[in-house]
Amino acid sequence: MNTRDTQIALKPGALAYQKKMSNPIYFWFGMLIKLPSAIFWKFRIKELDAEKCVVTIPYSWRTQNPFKSIYFAAMAGAGELTTGALCQLAISGLGKYSMLVVDFKAEYFKKANQKITFTCEQGQELFILLESLQPNDTGKLTMISSGRNPQGEEVARFYVTWSFKRKA
């Protein structure tokens, strides 16, 4: 069966997380506490659901490097946020899990000198993995976040491997 044919119904905890992260004020306060660089770089979550997460990063003095493009670390942060927000959404309401980035790889294809939109579309794969874990089981998933400029050209791709452990 194709995982794209299966619709994931969000649990109440995940719906609450989705609502909070979609609210710019809550997102700002949450990032202030957990990830202040996201505020400085002005990340925005444009979409977050069971299938995908979309995050934008502007091209501005805050994100610019000396070569007049977006600093690689700022793009990596936006790419990681697309995967991490999906992970948080997926574990919300499922019980206690620990999660950790265990590998990170990046590819850069084109100069990023405009607003970049990062998208990770592996939500369903992630939900299936997490729901299959029994207490004390671990699982890993490499999630891909693709960054595109307004013309639709891919400027960067990030591979973030998350490890999950379901707690008893």
Whichever domain contains 135, its CATH number is 3.10.129.10
Residue 40 to residue 32: CA distance in whole angstroms: 9
Is residue 20 domain-resident? yes
> Is the pLDDT reported for residue 3 higher than 90?
no
**Degrees (nearest 5) of the Cα angle 61, 152, 102?**
70
Show the domain range for 92. Answer: 10-166
User: Average pLDDT, stretch 27-45?
Assistant: 91
Q: Look at residue 1 and tell me if it is in a domain.
A: no
Beta bridge partners of 57: 116
Q: What is the pLDDT of residue 7?
A: 62
Point out which residues pair with 162 in neighbouring strands. Answer: 101, 141
Residue 142: is its pLDDT beyond 60?
yes
- What single letter denotes the amino acid at residue 161? T
Domain count of the chain? 1
Question: Rounded to two decimals, what is the model's pTM?
Answer: 0.89
Mean of the pLDDT values across residues 47-52? Answer: 93
Residue 94 within a domain: yes
- Average pLDDT for 117-124: 96
Asked if residue 93 is part of any domain, the answer here is: yes
Band of pLDDT at residue 156, cut at 50, 70 and 90: very high
Q: Both tokens of residue 137?
A: 């089981």
Is 3 inside a domain boundary?
no
> At residue 63, what is the residue type?
T
| Mean pLDDT along residues 121-134 | 92
Do the domain assignments include residue 15?
A: yes
Q: In this structure, is residue 5 part of a structural domain?
A: no
Sheet strands (E) in 75-153? 97-108, 116-120, 138-148
Distance CA 107, CA 59 (A): 19
Q: Is the pLDDT of residue 157 over 80?
A: yes
User: Which of these ranges, 11-15, 95-99, 126-130, has the smallest mean pLDDT?
Assistant: 11-15
Residue 5 has pLDDT above 70, yes or no: no
Average pLDDT over residues 1-7: 46
Beta-sheet strand order (sheet of 53-57): 44-48, 53-57, 116-120, 138-148, 154-166, 97-108
For the chain, the C-alpha Rg in angstroms (whole number) is 16
- According to the model, what pLDDT value does residue 18 have? 86
Q: Would residue 128 count as lying in a domain? A: yes
